Structure 1
Amino acid sequence: MLTLLLTMVVGLLPWSGVAQAHGTIINPSSRAYQCWKDWGNNHMNPAMQQQDPTCYQAFQANPDTMWNWMSALRDGLGGQFQARTPDGQLCSNGLSRNNSLNNPGNWKATNVSRNFSVQLYDQASHGADYFRVYVSKNGFNPTTQRLGWGNLDLVTTTGRYAPAQNITFNVSTSGYTGRHIVFVIWQASHLDQAYMWCSDVNFV
């Protein structure tokens, strides 16, 4: 019981600890971050099953996915993102422990316009070699389909960013309406570490 309590307390303090010292997209919120933000302090509430079934299944599958929302990284991909990340595993960054993030469903979506900003929170200030931002193609349904590479349009590739805890950049799109996934790859600068996330959005 004490071990469980300590685990829960640590999980509620994601701003500290070596294992946590990475980052995620906080706007539009990545799936794990959104679930942690909405339910991290209330994750035992049975109402989650009815009010937010996608987050509920994620917490049931592995609560650590949400507690460690900063740590969805893979080492040594050498830029071979597509070759080494199978279709259907993009939202988990190919990490089996985070497989629940790949499941389609009514994930909470952030309203965005055709021109929107992407914000990374990076506790350890790694900096970026670049970001790649994709939007799911028109006709793809994130509530019923797992995301594959063929479902994506590349809309932005950035340049380098100096180390900072907060990095924000603008994305311009056209022709998207309604529900989509914004898929972001962050190639960190300090090591060959790649992060990939899905953020659910609603173009309005």
Structure 2
Amino acid sequence: MRSNKPLRALILVFSVMAGLLAWSAPAQAHGTIINPMSRAYQCWKTWGNQHMNPVMQTQDPMCYRAFQANPDTMWNWMSALRDGLGQQYQARTPDGQLCSNGLSRNDTLNQVGAWKTTSISRNFTVHLYDQASHGADFLRVYVSKQGFNPTTQKLGWGNLDLVHTTGRYAPTQNIQFNVSTSGYTGQHILFVIWQASHQDQAYMWCSDVTFA
């Protein structure tokens, strides 16, 4: 009987290479809001090293659903971009698809439910990590209206208050700025649009927050 050790070794090599490709994919991408954490980033940050752990289903059911639907959404948490929108964000992004930036592959990010939240005060800091150092023409920050329930309602443009617009940022990997709000309590969605400077690329994300 011939030994199957060479075959097993070959399978092991391919498995390792596949794992490395999955983890290296975000390095070729762009950026996201890392504070308060965007939905895909939160799932990757919390569960990326243990995405096969069955406890995720009970401890973080929304991330579990997202990993089950399309794990690439989390591996490529820096790649939620669309080209050539010409700043027509509302006209070209239907209600209910804001959290995925209108990308069908990321549709689980639009789903309602018990997403993990970040506790913030009415004055908070937004941190964009831009791995490729594109810079920004501007960023727009919205907060879901008081009374909107992110656990039962999909986000639409009519559910948002614009609370802050930045100026231009030169290319850098880290962009941070302060946002001041008033009148918000409880759980909300923080919705951010990043218009990158290097070309007409638009990024949109949802971060789940609780105003303390």
TM range (shorter): over 0.9
In structure 2, list runs of 5 or more residues that go unmatched.
Answer: 1-10
1:174-194, CA deviations, whole angstroms, 9 ceiling, x for partnerless residues?
A: 000010000000000000000
Matched, 1:165 2:176: no
Q: Does residue 1:141 correspond to 2:141, yes or no?
A: no
- 1:124-164 deviation per Cα after TM superposition (whole angstroms, max 9, x unaligned): 10000000000000111111111000000000011000100
Distance 2:44 2:25 in 1: 10
CA RMSD of aligned residues (A): 1.3
Which has the larger Rg?
Answer: 2
Please list every run of at least 4 consecutive aligned residues from structure 1 whose deviation after the TM superposition is greater than 2 angstroms: 1-16
1:133–1:3 Cα change, 3 Å: farther
Compute the displacement of 1:76 (Å). 0.2
Question: C-alpha separation between the residues in 2 aligned to 1:101 and 1:7?
Answer: 25
After superposition, the Cα gap between the structure-2 partners of 1:189 and 1:103, relative to the gap in structure 1 and judged at 3 Å, is: same
- Aligned AA for 1:124? A
State whether residues 111 and 203 of structure 1, in contact with CA within 8 Å, keep that contact through their aligned partners in structure 2: yes
Structure 1 residue 37 corresponds to structure 2 residue 45: yes
1:80 has 2:88 as partner: yes
Counterpart residue number, 2:5? none
Q: Which residue of the partner structure matches residue 7 of structure 1?
A: 18
Q: Which amino acid aligns with 1:81?
A: Y
The 5-angstrom pairing of residues 112-127 of structure 1 reads: 112-127=120-135
Q: What do residues 67-88 of structure 1 show as CA deviations (whole Å, max 9, x unaligned)? A: 0000000000000000000000
The change in CA–CA distance for 1:37 and 1:84 in structure 2 (over 3 A counts) is same
Unmatched segments (≥5 aa) in structure 1? none
Aligned partner of 1:98 among 106, 109, 123: 106
Q: Measure the CA separation in 2 of the matches of 1:9 and 1:152.
A: 39
Q: Would you say how many aligned residue pairs link Structure 1 and Structure 2?
A: 201
- C-alpha change, 1:134 and 1:3, in structure 2 (3 Å) is farther
Q: 1:4 Cα shift?
A: 5.6
State the SS of the aligned residue for 2:205.
strand
Query: TM-score, with normalisation over the residues of structure 2?
Result: 0.92
Equivalent position amino acid for 2:22 in 1: G
Whose helix proportion is higher, 1 or 2?
A: 2
> 1:58 touches 1:100 (CA, 8 Å); kept in 2?
yes
Determine the structure 2 residue equivalent to 1:61: 69
